Each structure stands twice: as structure tokens, then as C-alpha cells.
Amino acid sequence: MLRFDYGMAAAGVPVSAIEALGRRAGECNRMLEEGTGAGADFLGWVSLPSSVTETELRRVKDAAEKLRAVADVVVVVGIGGSYLGARAVLEALGNPFACLRRERSGPDVVFAGQNISEDYLYDLLEALQGRSVGVIVISKSGTTTEPAIAFRILRGELERRYGKAGARERIVAVTDRSRGALKGLADREGYATFVIPDDVGGRYSVLTPVGLLPLAAAGIDIGALVAGAREMEAATAAGVPFGRNPAEQYAAARNVLYGAGYRVEILGSYEPSLHYVGEWWKQLFGESEGKEGKGIFPASVTLTADLHSMGQYIQDGERMLFETVVSVASPLHELRIGTGGDEDGLGFLAGRRLSEVNRMAEAGVALAHCDGGVPNLRVDIDRVDAYGVGGLLYFFERACGISGYLLGVNPFDQPGVEAYKRNMYALLDKPGYEKEGRRLRERLKER
Ligand code: PA5
């Protein structure tokens, strides 16, 4: 269902060096399964696809159905790992032009709490006028400022419109089993609640209710998503030989390229629907590996669009880049270029499928980038459907865990994320941060 091709890494490092790392990659993979590496308390995601039960999926689907019955817009509130997975799958599988349709088959799903922009939330509230609204609020810690602010505002709006009891029917919380302000609030208000398992960190949580509930609310086949991930769990298990294990191969290739000075990885795809998979992937790898002064900087491009903005740099700029392309074998639909005439110079393409042109663009770019000193890796998937995307996400998670261990970091913590929060609280005079607030204000004056 998914293949990994590192043949074109040869533009930067010998393929034999990647294969030489195979044994170590296998050991790191085993550490994930046996819980013998750093961050072993956060390995619940490893066997999540094979352990999620029909009953759990049913409960998620039932809650989603209830929301779909009362709401024609569902606002999903969350940030980081409590946001990007659902968004990535939704954008991958949804029709980007759904807003143009007169007939809707289910609620619109939109996102909030991933920023603190006054205008963003104002525009959202305005757009919600006249619509019937439901809210899914997601926060593992239950204390993250951005979603907490958005939820306070949206909850106020729902209570104003529907009363407290009516709002209760339209709000579902996804949070920790016992800790955090959101858990307390959900218990007090009697919201339907889903638990994020203790041993699954935010950026690895897309296959828990964090991702599954918003996706089910959008009408996505979460059973197929999990089934794709389940197959990938088997295909990437420790014990599957390196030559057939795409996650170990990808992790090893990244590690060898990093060691050879390739410090930036660009994830690209020729399917624009995968744009947010790139955003999700950036968080996954950036937050998992970027620590202790180490780590590949993850960037992403959507192709061919970004060849007309970033293409020059990739081809010709500073040589520190390698590229990983998610290559999709078959489109879901068929569309051909019109026949007749050559006034526009496209006679040679008449009658040919767009996917053929797209594939030739992809092949031509890979060769050009390799010639320009940008090693290429390729992740091949059959198509962008729920099954394929489930497999793709799990593949990246598994490779990320192995890659973090190869790099020698704990891929399951994120100590650096706290620094900005402390400063923001101090500058906003949060109780307990007053002294630090005065010190930071002095620093800002000095600037
Ligand atoms: O991966 C992570 O742990 C983070 O990106 C979190 O998901 C993000 O900070 C949101 O945290 P929370 O779900 O606690 O609100």
C-alpha cells in the first residue's frame, strides 16, 4: 500500500550508507515496541491502530452523529497535535470547493483555537450567524491558552443562543482522563467527553478521538482510516526486515542525509489536498527531533504551485536541502485535456490525462533537483483515500519515532514549547508571573 524509494538519495549520499544503518534502525524500531528508549511513557500510539476496538469507534461515530443531527457547522477548537491531524485528513479527503455547493451532505467543519487573532475569531462568529453550531473542544493538558480563549468565546455564544442546557447538547470535550481546567469544566457542565490516553502525546494522537471525532463529524470513514493505519502498523513492525520496512528505510535515509550536512527536509506533493499533511508532518518531525541543538528543519511545499515561488531556491540556492515527495499513483477521478487545435501550443497534450502531465512534472522535477544537488526521497501511495491517508500518517509517526532514536533525542517530549508560554503569561500578568512580567517589560523597553 505504501512504498519508500531512496534510490535518488544517491544525489547526496551513497545508498549503501543508508543500508548500512539498517540494523541500527531495526534496533530503534524495536525500542519503540518494547518501550526501552527515551519517552517510553508515551508509546501508546505504536499499537493504537491494532488496539482500537469497534466499540470505541462506535462511540465516536455516535457522538459525531449527535452533533451532525443538531449542527450544520461544527467548530473544532484545538492547537498543535490537537488540531493538525484532523485538519490534515479533512483537507486530504474533503472537496476543496465544497463551499460552492448548494446542497450539503453534512455539517461544515471549521477550526478555531489554533491562533489568538481577534479578527479570525470575529470573522468566525460573524460567519456563524444564522447557522446551527456545534463545538468539539480538544486539549490534552486542558490548559492551553489559545484553545481555552476560543472555547470561552464560543461557549458564551452557544449559551447565549441555546441556553446552558441547549449548549450542553452541542459541545463535546476531548481531554485528559482527570487533569486540567477543561476536564473540570466538562464535568461541571456535563459535556459529553472523550479521553486522550495518557500514553499518547499530542502530535501522535490523530488516531484517538482527537482526530477521529472531528473527522467522523465531517462524515469521513474513520474505520477505513484506522484500517489503513493498522496495515501500516504491521508493515513497519520491528522484525519486518529493513529491505521491506518503509519506516526504517525513511528514518535511516534521513539520518544519513542529516549526517552528511543536509539540514533541511522539504516535504512536497503534487496533490494540493495533501498540503495540510505537510503541516501536520512539520509538527510531528519538528517537535519530535528539534532539541538539544539537533534536528532536521522540516519545511513543506505544494507542487507544482511552489515551483513558481520556491523552485528557484530549491534548484539553485544554498545546498543543505533534501526533498521527500509523497507521490500518488492514481487520482480518484478522470479528466482529460481537450482535443482540437494548437492555438495555445498544447496540441501535443490533447486528449491526455492531467495525471500524466502531473506525473511527468514530478519526474522531471526530481531529476532536475537531483542534478542541482538536492537528494530525493519518495513515498509512494496508491491514492488519497481514507485508507491510504491512514497508512501514510502512521508511516510518518513510526518513522519519526525511529528517526528520533537514531538521532539520540527523546522524540516524545517538547520542552522548548514552554518558553514562549512563560513569557506570554508574564507579560499578561498571570498570577504568579508578576515579577517575571516586570523584568520582561524592562527588556522590551531596552529594544
Ligand atoms: O504535540 C504536542 O504535545 C503539542 O503540540 C500539543 O498537542 C499542543 O501544544 C496542544 O496541547 P493541548 O492538547 O494540551 O492543548
Atom of ligand 1 nearest to the CA of 141: 14
Q: Which atom of ligand 1 lies closest to the CA of 203?
A: 1
Q: How far is the CA of 324 from the centre of ligand 1 (A)?
A: 26
- Can you give the pLDDT at residue 169? 97
DSSP bridge partners of 75: 110, 135
Pocket test for ligand 1, best of 141, 291, 421 (most atoms within 8 A of CB): 141
Which is the closest atom of ligand 1 to the Cα of 144? Answer: 15
Question: To test ligand 1's pocket by mutation, which of 111, 116, 140 has the most ligand atoms within 8 angstroms of CB?
Answer: 140
Query: Residue with the nearest Cα to atom 5 of ligand 1?
Result: 80
Mutate to test the pocket of ligand 1, among 76, 77, 79 (most ligand atoms within 8 A of CB): 79
For a substitution probing ligand 1, which of 82, 279, 280 has the most ligand atoms within 8 Å of its CB? Answer: 82
- Separation of CA 315 and ligand 1 centre (Å): 35
67 near 134, Cβ under 8 Å? yes
**Whole-angstrom distance, CA of residue 387 vs CA of residue 383:** 9
Q: For residue 414, how far is its CA from the centre of ligand 1 (angstroms)?
A: 9
What is the model's pLDDT at position 396?
98
Q: Which residues of 358-368 are buried (b: 16+ CB within 10 A; e: fewer)?
A: beeebeebbee
Output the CA–CA distances (angstroms, integers) from residue 13 to 252, 267, 377, in the order listed.
12, 18, 12
Residue nearest atom 8 of ligand 1, based on CA coordinates: 80
Residues annotated as catalytic are 287, 308, 421
Question: Which residue is closest in CA terms to ligand 1's atom 9?
Answer: 80
In angstroms, the CA 375 to CA 380 distance is 16
- What ligand 1 atom has the least distance to the C-alpha of 180? 14
At residue 131, the pLDDT reads 97
Per-residue pLDDT, 423: 93
**Is 340 exposed, middle or buried (CB count within 10 Å of its CB: 0-12, 13-18, 19+)?**
exposed
Cell of 118: 481577534
For helices 118-128 and 145-168, give the axis angle rounded to 10 degrees.
Answer: 20
Go through the chain and tell me how many residues it has.
447
pLDDT at 9: 94
Q: How far is the CA of 216 from the centre of ligand 1 (A)?
A: 21
Could you give the count of Cα atoms lying within 13 Å of 414 in the half-sphere of its Cβ? 17
* Pocket of ligand 1, beta carbon within 6 A: 79-82, 139-141, 144, 147, 201-203, 287, 414, 417
Residue nearest to atom 15 of ligand 1 (CA): 139
Query: How remote is the CA of residue 283 from the centroid of ligand 1, in Å?
Result: 10
Residue that the C-alpha cell 549520499 belongs to: 13
| Alpha carbon of 144 to ligand 1 centroid (Å) | 8
Tell how far the Cα of 407 is from the centroid of ligand 1, in angstroms: 23
pTM of the model: 0.97
Q: Residue 404: CB partners within 8 Å, gap ≥ 6?
A: 288, 289, 410, 411, 412
Counting from 1 in the atom list of ligand 1, the atom nearest the Cα of 146 is 15
Q: Which atom of ligand 1 is nearest to the CA of 78?
A: 15
Q: Are strands 376-381 and 2-5 parallel, antiparallel or unpaired?
A: antiparallel
Digits of tens for pLDDT over the chain (447 positions)? 899 999 999 999 999 999 999 999 999 999 999 999 999 999 999 999 999 999 999 999 999 999 999 999 999 999 999 999 999 999 999 999 988 888 888 999 999 999 999 999 999 999 999 999 999 999 999 989 999 999 999 999 999 999 999 999 999 999 999 999 999 999 999 999 999 999 999 999 999 999 999 999 999 999 999 999 999 999 999 999 999 999 999 999 999 999 999 999 999 999 999 999 999 999 999 999 999 999 999 999 999 999 999 999 999 999 999 999 999 999 999 999 999 889 999 999 999 999 999 999 999 999 999 999 999 999 999 999 999 999 999 999 999 999 999 999 999 999 998 889 899 999 999 999 999 999 999 999 988
